[in-house]
Amino acid sequence: MNICVIPARGGSKRIPRKNIKEFNGKPIIAYSIEAAKASKCFDEIIVSTDDNEIAEIAKKYGAKVPFIRPSKYSDDYIGTLPVVKHAVEFINVNQSVEFVCCLYATAPFINPDVIIKAFKQLIVSKADFCFTVTSFPFPIQRAMKINDKKRLSMFEPENFNIRSQDLEEGYQDAGQFYWGKANSFLNEAMLFSEISCPYILPRYLVQDIDTPEDWIRAEVMYEVLKKKKLIK
């Protein structure tokens, strides 16, 4: 069976109650649940949460909450892979899971067609994982840092005189979802490595939502993308 796991703990700090905060008229987690349902890729859509309110909202929009996530998987330092592993182990007790998609709760730009295409890419590529990435808007080789004296220096000063078009393009995690083999999640295999293949998204469809500034930017982007019919 294929399952979708949506991690959604209740203790977000920078944006309180982030996973159920209203975004364009409904809780932001609703976008992920609805996209997962529309993709028709999953036998079960599971929200992994430690919070009763999040659980009730998730069920309202059509997800299942078969367990309340234990506190050891719900602190500020727990990573995504252990949370998904816990969910897969829970489901594996009664049913055998073959493929898993970890879908973030704060991904309002997610497109069901992208979920479908990335799954097909995972199968064809025979990779362990397939997840969304997007290109950096500026060459990462030109990145700078600010020292204790408030002065600048380059991370790679040897690239100062190289034309930007001659520098290799860099990519970042788009923060939407990770498709993968269930065993790869169970083994907590390294996502950012050669066992993964990328599904490339344009930058205008990508926005991490970690801070209040990110949230405002995402709302503005959503309005524009909706008006231009670039998202469903």
- The CATH topology of domain 2-135+170-227 is Spore Coat Polysaccharide Biosynthesis Protein SpsA; Chain A (3.90.550)
pLDDT grade for 122, boundaries at 50, 70 and 90? very high
Write down the mean pLDDT value for the chain. 96
pLDDT score recorded for residue 11: 86
pLDDT score recorded for residue 85: 97
pLDDT tens-digit profile of 27-59?
999 999 999 999 999 999 999 999 999 999 999
Question: What H or E segment, with its residue span, contains residue 176?
Answer: strand 171-181
pLDDT score recorded for residue 134: 98
Q: Using DSSP, state whether 147 is helix, strand or coil.
A: coil
pLDDT score recorded for residue 12: 86
pLDDT score recorded for residue 132: 98
pLDDT tens-digit profile of 163-216?
999 999 999 999 999 999 999 999 999 999 999 999 999 999 999 999 999 999
Could you write out the DSSP letters of every residue in 33-88? HHHHHHHT--SEEEEEBS-HHHHHHHHHTT-B--SBPPGGGSSTT--HHHHHHHHH
What's the DSSP call for residue 190? -
Q: What is the pTM of this model?
A: 0.94
pLDDT score recorded for residue 162: 95
User: Is the confidence at residue 123, as pLDDT, over 90?
Assistant: yes
pLDDT tens-digit profile of 133-172?
999 999 999 999 999 999 999 999 999 999 999 999 999 9
Are 114 and 201 within 8 A, CB to CB? yes
User: Is the confidence at residue 221, as pLDDT, over 90?
Assistant: yes
Q: What are phi and psi of 178, to 5 degrees?
A: -130, 110
User: Is the confidence at residue 232, as pLDDT, over 80?
Assistant: no
pLDDT score recorded for residue 24: 94
pLDDT score recorded for residue 120: 98
User: Is the confidence at residue 93, as pLDDT, over 90?
Assistant: no
pLDDT grade for 106, boundaries at 50, 70 and 90? very high
User: Is the confidence at residue 94, as pLDDT, over 90?
Assistant: no
